[in-house]
Amino acid sequence: MAAARAYLTGGRIGADLDRLSALRARIMARLTGAGAARVEPETLQPADLLLDLYGEDIRARAYIVEDPSAGELALRPDFTVPVARLHMAGGADPARYAYEGLVWRRQPPGSDRPSEYLQAGIELIGGADPAAEEAEVFALIAAALEGAEAAPLTGDLGVVFAAIAAMETTEPRRAALRRHVWRPARFHALLERYADPPAPSPTRAALLGADRAGRIDAIAAAGRIIGARGEAEILERLDALTEDAATPPLEAGEKAMIEAVLAVKGRSDEALARLRAMARAPMHPALDRMERRLDALADLGVDAGALPFDAAFGRGLEYYDGFVFEFRSARAGLPPLGGGGRYDALTAILGGGAGAPAVGGIVRPEALLAAGAAA
Amino acid sequence: MSVKLGLPSKGRLQEASVEWLAARGVNVERADEGREYAGRITGVEGVELQLLSAAEIPLELAAGRIHLGVTGEDLIRETIPGWEAKVDLGPALGFGHADLIVAVPAIWVDVETLHDLDAAAAQFRRRHGRRLRIATKYHSLARSFLTARGVADYRLVDSQGATEATALNLTAEAIIDITSSGETLRANHLKPLADGLILASEARLCRSLTAPTDAADAAVLAALRSRIGA
């Protein structure tokens, strides 16, 4: 199997390589045919930037190499950030980009996932009609899977954020929940904590009971400032803790509401109807968006009402913050053949506050061939 | 072939290992009053001694170049990906105690637990526009511990020595390091988090699961096991 590559027993030489190359060309023709400009980001990306955007998880997954002058560089673990970087550095809105090439991800010991594989994809950045663009990306990726059996799954983190916005609690609590949408265990621990706050330690109780002068004395008595977190931050957080301690426990109905939203699962038309039935006023704009997307999908010939929807889907993929989708193969050992979603907040971080609406999707050509796509 | 036993080449860990083995009838004889990194095992037949730096022992065990070795549980778990398939931790030896912990500046009176650390990290990122830095050499253990507990908005910075001084030197805000008495933490204006114990480590007599073992080796290992339990 010397010529084996990701998910394939061949593909590195001769006829097998020809089949894969033909498939790659066909996919790129389809993506550029949708009006996307070809883009070819650098293989080596600044590790600092990826770490700042994705956090430590990426350091566990990306191959990091040292350059004596450039510092730490990472072999690109995906295309979304590298393409969005190129766009933020000089592209004009609206833009659509198509790309394909290798990505690299370290795999845990014992995993049979490949550490090097191909992705081909499209990114729509700065568009004016989000629902239509989400539908278009979904339909394009579905079309690129032609010939392979794959079951779609969709979700919408925008609905989850809207449900958090509709919760009756304080803004700091909502902000903490928003921040942990991608960490379900921590998210639920926070809900438990707000519903049934732990008793403060004696030290904490004394601090909460102290006035500002008392707090400043307590800080001074505790040592000296080391590191970059200063006294103002400690005092600010003591204020936040005081406010939180004075906040009544989260009502059972609030926790039940968010959990009910996250539990919605089924056909998209039925899911939308159920979400509408349980929605509070702040949730309706997100549900209107979902409805417009389903209409736009139907316009593109997708059986939109029947699309499987799971409100909790997408929570493992930090940086997606709206519509998310995936196409799963029934064949054992294959990853999702395609997938993607909306990542508006990420472009805002890359652009230093000035973001742009962005949605994209990818297919995995090798997995696609392994799943039986025609070359 | 012979059974290879790896011991730390110097220091407290070596002395304690030698004593522990001697108490079980396995004697380490050093030539040249311990200055030369060589020696031999008496009291049991067919065992060859290898004196190695503490950091090498986990790697040698995992690679199967030694059959047995004394090292800290923390080093096995940190340095060998998928260690369970390569090394059996073996008996705890009752010395080399070291707790891997999360510590923050003592002056952070608002931070007692990981929940507080996570909230402080969110606040830090909002105010400074970058992630809160945690200095450590235990990257793997640190990352999996913080991930499992849902701590976000931090960044690990590498520190291979004097980790307790990093906050003082303004190269980190918090640390993850081993501590035994806590005195070094206090001296460096740090305090451990109440729920920040990552691993209570001690020295172990580890057995390689990958070392080639012929019938004679197996017999020696069986004889050793009855004496020392590894």
How would you classify the pairing of strands B3-8 and B68-72?
Answer: parallel
Q: Does B129 touch chain A (CB under 8 A)?
A: no
A interface residues, B as partner, C-beta within 8 Å: 51-52, 55-57, 59-60, 108-110, 176, 179-180, 183, 185-187, 189, 193, 201, 203-204, 207, 215, 218-219, 222-229, 231, 233-234, 236-238, 240-241
pLDDT-above-90 percentage for chain A: 83
Q: Cα distance from A273 to chain B (closest Cα, Å)?
A: 33
Q: What angle do CA A335, A338, A341 make, to 5 degrees?
A: 120
Using a CB-CB cut-off of 8 Å, the residues of chain B touching A231 are: 107
Q: Is A119 annotated as a binding residue?
A: yes
Q: Is A66 annotated as a binding residue?
A: no
pLDDT in tens, A43-67: 999 998 888 888 888 888 899 999 9
Q: Cα distance from B214 to chain A (closest Cα, Å)?
A: 26
Strand ranges inside A114-197, DSSP E? 116-125, 151-156
pLDDT in tens, A295-351: 999 999 999 999 999 999 987 767 899 999 999 999 988 999 999 999 999 888 888
Subunit contact A226:B107, Cβ cutoff 8 A? yes
DSSP bridge pairs for A103: A117
Best mutation site among A53, A56, A212 for testing chain B: the one with the most B CBs within 10 Å?
Answer: A56
Measure CB to CB from residue A229 to each of B155, B156, B173 and give the nearest one.
B173
Distances (CA, A) of B106 to A110, A222, A325: 41, 6, 46
| ipTM score for this prediction | 0.93
Q: Which amino acid is at A302?
A: V
Measure CB to CB from residue B172 to each of A218, A224, A227 and give the nearest one.
A227
Subunit contact B107:A225, Cβ cutoff 8 A? yes
Overall average pLDDT of the A76-84 stretch: 94
pTM here?
0.93
pLDDT of residue A375: 63
pLDDT bucket at B125, cuts 50 / 70 / 90: very high
Give the residue from chain B lying closest to A198, CA to CA: B115
pLDDT in tens, B58-110: 999 999 999 999 999 999 999 999 999 999 999 999 999 999 999 999 999 99
Measure CB to CB from residue A228 to each of B81, B109, B170 and give the nearest one.
B170
pLDDT in tens, B3-36: 999 999 888 999 999 999 999 999 998 766 656 6
Say how many C-beta atoms besides its own lie within 10 A of residue A82's C-beta: 23
Domains and CATH numbers, chain B: 3-95+203-228 (3.40.190.10), 98-201 (3.40.190.10)
B26-56 in b/e form (b: 16+ CB < 10 A) is bebebeeeeeeeebebeebeebebbbbebeb
Residue tagged 């940190």 (tokens): B78
DSSP assignments along B149-172, one per residue: TT--SEEEEE-SS-GGGTTTTTS-
